[in-house]
Structure 1
Amino acid sequence: MSRPLDPRTACRRYALVSALFWLPIGLALAPMVALFTERGLSVAAVAGCVAAHSLTAAALELPTGGLSDVVGRRAVLAAAGLVGLAGLLLAALGTTAWVLALAMALKGVARALSSGPAEAWYVDTVHASAGPDAELRTGLARGSTASTGALAVGVLIGGALPWLSGLGPDLGARLSEATSGLVLPLSLPMLLGVAVELAFVAYVLTALPEQPRPPATLRGVLRGVPAAIVGGLRLGGGDALVRRIMLSAAAAGSALVTVELLTPGRAVDLTGAPESGAVLFAALACAGFLCSATGSQLAPRVARLAGSGERAVLVSLGAAAGGLLLLGATAAVTGPAALVLLALGYGFIYVGLGAAGPNENDLLHRRVDSAGRATALSVQSLALQLIGALTGLIAGHLPAGAARWLLGGAVLLAGALLWTRRTAPLAEPNPEATSVPSPSR
């Protein structure tokens, strides 16, 4: 690449590639459990498939981050799209437990491959065009907004498409009969996701130019990936600010797992029936994604009002912790007041976490160079997933009621309190003067 893209174009392309990656995940989210159940899987078997996804993603986080730092962002992102496409196709058409578990494992591989390269590409491109002190927060916020907005849209389409396909006379039955039972109405959102994955791969290969890298050899990869992983771990352990960012990600993972684990059951308790509880939870999930997108969009403004990126993280995580405590309070309240607290708590959690993320990553990219950027992002994602899984296991053994909510709230509050002291002065460019304009659609 002879000349790097300007920051405005890089921001627009980063936002679009983020949306294209997360839209298929949103499409599959709503019908997945129902489809697997329709294929004859028990609840325990479905849980095993979900575990296959989570464990695969966690195991590959660091190796795939190092791979991106060695062979390049574009190649790894394209591989993520192709593997994700295969996972969605198997999930849509699979009829046995082992095929569906393989589908979820492939989706976990895709998730690990995608963790960091797009954001690393954006930061590398802006730094190459505007220098290492270029303002990043606005572009990172736009990418995060695009991701969560795509998830919200995907959840809505994924939930509505099977229902719409059943409006015609026996359309679902005819569809299943014509495909020998391979394609059910619940399969349609995932098949649509396959088409989006194809568009994602094509866009990555044509719209994300990179600075030339030395040709990757097998020996170079085998040496470079472990070195990148070790460098990322050393950075997390040796730099106080990076360590604080990683611990904050772990606290956010604890909060998210608490919400995802406990909210469905609380929704059923509040509405009095599983069906209506599922509808309430779907509405809350979509609203949560939209709140997260709003929080991401507000991240630069929060930093300006707070006076620095570090103070913005403190305020944002504190608000999210308050929201989780509000959800815990619903365990002792019934009626309309419980619904109001549930909605407010959900809003505070996702707006707060959405605003914290771009500010944390803006600070992270000022500490990490291009050679270890994707690995550092993978370490951050790994911390979120591992502590989240641990919190879920502990919460499941606590007594029912507020105690389960308070665990996640306490961990997130501890993550917020880490930011009460500054570690070292950082250059804070003026966002008003250098912010990236909103990407055109």
Structure 2
Amino acid sequence: MNRQRGGGPGTGLGERAARRRFVTVSFLFWLPAGLGLAPMVLLLTERGLTLAAVAAAYAAHSLTVAVLELPTGGLSDVVGRRTVLAGAGALNACALALVGLGTAPWVIVLGMALMGAGRALSSGPAEAWYVDTVHAHAGPDAELRTGLARGSAASSGAIALGVLTGGALPWLLGLGPDPGAWLRASTSGLVLPLSVPLLLGVAVEIVYVVHVLTALTEPPRPAATLRGVLRGVPGAIGAGLRLGARDAVVRRILMSTGAAGTALAALELLTPGRAAALTGSPESGAVLFAGLAAAGFVCSALGSQLAPLVARLAGDGERAVLAGLGVSTAGLLTLGATVNAAGGVAAALAAAGYGLVYLGLGAARPSQNDLLHRRVDTGGRATALSVQSLAQQLVGAVAGLVIGVLPAGPLPWLLGAVVLLAGTLLWTRRAPAVPVPAPE
């Protein structure tokens, strides 16, 4: 085991340098997602899609992630983290361009599917790179929760910044006696004010790819061949699935992550329309939703930063997950209870509930992942993270389709709350201990 202060074998990085690069990659990857979050639903409805069709487009994204999660996670374990992350950025750049410029439903669905492919490629390699680098430097007992919390906080902060920018740009571009007329005229109607944040995200993705290729140094790997990849990926997938089947804690992580996916699907699908109905127009609704979403992701970043403290106060990681998910459940129930209420008090309660959902999820995720990393070794780390992301995307896709056809009112919100409550209650019982993986 190499424990020199300069870093792991072949990387030249210490723990602090690895943490900085992990935080930067996390920020750059999620900034384009934040830019598209506020205008996305409103842009698609402006293009003529119904809410059910928008839910189907989101399902195309989530189902693509679900199909590709395990193969791409195994691919990262075979060919390396940097190559896979760069591919994710390239796919996301293409996807944002298609969704931002597309007018036909099939183009939009294709863009959402490509975005799902990029998400599948990205879910796990950066975090696996960070954990591998820290373990190579300080050994398998190195403290991970702080770095994971900062990476999660950077992701949430990037989304918050992106949401504010993505919500404000369409509003600013729509100012004037004939909102957006100059933009539509100069681009033959392809670019609406709501499209601009997605196109800005394309530029950020290019910066992300360059940073990944230059900053994420890895130990030399054997040259990958098609036969080696095809042989190695199924083995990595099988190992990830066997881990989820035999380990009680990993099962709980997967099921509670799926429950969180339902909660997030409810927020993403229902909040933009609720904001637009309150303000009276899509552009002003995007501004309001941007403010709410940014506040939510600031709460998520705060929760992530507080995760080590929550774990210390709760006594261990499992109780910390229980506390975080409990807070999120309370927030979603509040949103459901206030959907038909009017007045300032109801609006304040709804905003507080929205923030609590993200605060709790942000506090729970680092402790969940710390528990996960202590049960896997480097050969299956990215695959295990992909299994976790698969649970969130697959359950979220199914929940989104159901939510899209439910009648307006508290029922869609309460569905998300009930599923999240079930995921929370999984952590009320202690799981049996399992052997720690052998040193890497």
Same fold per superposition (TM over 0.5): yes
Evaluate the alpha carbon distance shift between residue 96 and residue 258 of structure 1 in structure 2; reply closer, same or farther with a 3 A threshold: closer
Partner AA of 1:246 in structure 2? L
Evaluate the alpha carbon distance shift between residue 171 and residue 43 of structure 1 in structure 2; reply closer, same or farther with a 3 A threshold: closer
Match of 1:107 among 109, 115, 124: 115
Give the distance between the partners of 2:116 and 2:139, measured in 1 at CA: 35
After superposition, give the CA deviation of every residue in 1:29-49 in whole Å (9 maximum; x if it has no partner): 233344445555565554443
Evaluate the alpha carbon distance shift between residue 41 and residue 119 of structure 1 in structure 2; reply closer, same or farther with a 3 A threshold: same
Q: Which moved more, 1:394-403 or 1:287-296?
A: 394-403
Q: Which moved more, 1:230-239 or 1:97-106?
A: 97-106
Residues 230-269 of structure 1 aligned to structure 2 (within 5 Å):
230-264=238-272, 266-267=274-275
| Equivalence for 2:80 | 72
5+ residue gaps in structure 2?
1-8
| Equivalence for 1:436 | none
Match of 2:322 among 292, 314, 319: 314
Displacement of 1:392 in angstroms is 3.7
Evaluate the alpha carbon distance shift between residue 116 and residue 189 of structure 1 in structure 2; reply closer, same or farther with a 3 A threshold: same
User: Contact conserved, 2:99 with 2:108, CA < 8 A, in 1?
Assistant: yes
Displacement of 1:177 in angstroms is 4.2
| Equivalence for 1:288 | 296
Q: CA RMSD in A?
A: 2.7
Paired residue secondary structure (1:227):
helix
User: Contact conserved, 1:4 with 1:211, CA < 8 A, in 2?
Assistant: no
Give the distance between the partners of 1:394 and 1:369, measured in 2 at CA: 37
| Equivalence for 2:346 | 338
Match of 1:227 among 215, 235, 249: 235
Give the distance between the partners of 1:176 and 1:398, measured in 2 at CA: 34
Give the distance between the partners of 1:399 and 1:43, measured in 2 at CA: 11
Paired residue secondary structure (2:219):
coil
Paired residue secondary structure (1:132):
coil
Evaluate the alpha carbon distance shift between residue 197 and residue 44 of structure 1 in structure 2; reply closer, same or farther with a 3 A threshold: same
| Equivalence for 2:141 | 133
Displacement of 1:397 in angstroms is 6.2
TM-score (normalised: structure 1): 0.88
Q: Which moved more, 1:164-173 or 1:108-117?
A: 164-173
Paired residue secondary structure (1:127):
helix
| Equivalence for 1:20 | 28
Displacement of 1:268 in angstroms is 6.2
Displacement of 1:416 in angstroms is 2.0
Displacement of 1:102 in angstroms is 1.9
Displacement of 1:98 in angstroms is 2.7
User: Contact conserved, 1:33 with 1:46, CA < 8 A, in 2?
Assistant: yes
Give the distance between the partners of 1:49 and 1:326, measured in 2 at CA: 28
Match of 1:304 among 299, 304, 312: 312
| Equivalence for 2:151 | 143
Partner AA of 1:390 in structure 2? V
Identity %: 68
The answer to whether the aligner puts 1:52 opposite 2:57 as a matched pair is no
Give the distance between the partners of 2:215 and 2:177, measured in 1 at CA: 43
Evaluate the alpha carbon distance shift between residue 34 and residue 306 of structure 1 in structure 2; reply closer, same or farther with a 3 A threshold: closer
Evaluate the alpha carbon distance shift between residue 408 and residue 46 of structure 1 in structure 2; reply closer, same or farther with a 3 A threshold: closer
Give the distance between the partners of 1:91 and 1:267, measured in 2 at CA: 22
User: Contact conserved, 1:18 with 1:147, CA < 8 A, in 2?
Assistant: yes
Partner AA of 2:224 in structure 1? A
| Equivalence for 1:435 | none
| Equivalence for 1:162 | 170
| Equivalence for 2:4 | none
The answer to whether the aligner puts 1:371 opposite 2:392 as a matched pair is no
Evaluate the alpha carbon distance shift between residue 391 and residue 198 of structure 1 in structure 2; reply closer, same or farther with a 3 A threshold: closer
Q: Which moved more, 1:280-289 or 1:76-85?
A: 280-289
Evaluate the alpha carbon distance shift between residue 326 and residue 38 of structure 1 in structure 2; reply closer, same or farther with a 3 A threshold: closer
Partner AA of 1:417 in structure 2? L
Match of 1:118 among 97, 110, 126: 126
Q: Which moved more, 1:189-198 or 1:134-143?
A: 189-198
User: Contact conserved, 1:365 with 1:373, CA < 8 A, in 2?
Assistant: yes
User: Contact conserved, 1:4 with 1:125, CA < 8 A, in 2?
Assistant: no
Displacement of 1:209 in angstroms is 0.7
Evaluate the alpha carbon distance shift between residue 128 and residue 199 of structure 1 in structure 2; reply closer, same or farther with a 3 A threshold: same
| Equivalence for 1:327 | 335
Displacement of 1:111 in angstroms is 0.9
After superposition, give the CA deviation of every residue in 1:4-51 in whole Å (9 maximum; x if it has no partner): 411111111111101101111111223334444555556555444333
Evaluate the alpha carbon distance shift between residue 93 and residue 266 of structure 1 in structure 2; reply closer, same or farther with a 3 A threshold: closer
Displacement of 1:310 in angstroms is 1.3
Equivalent pairs counted in the alignment come to 427
Q: Which moved more, 1:156-165 or 1:223-232?
A: 156-165
Match of 2:14 among 6, 21, 26: 6
Evaluate the alpha carbon distance shift between residue 139 and residue 188 of structure 1 in structure 2; reply closer, same or farther with a 3 A threshold: same
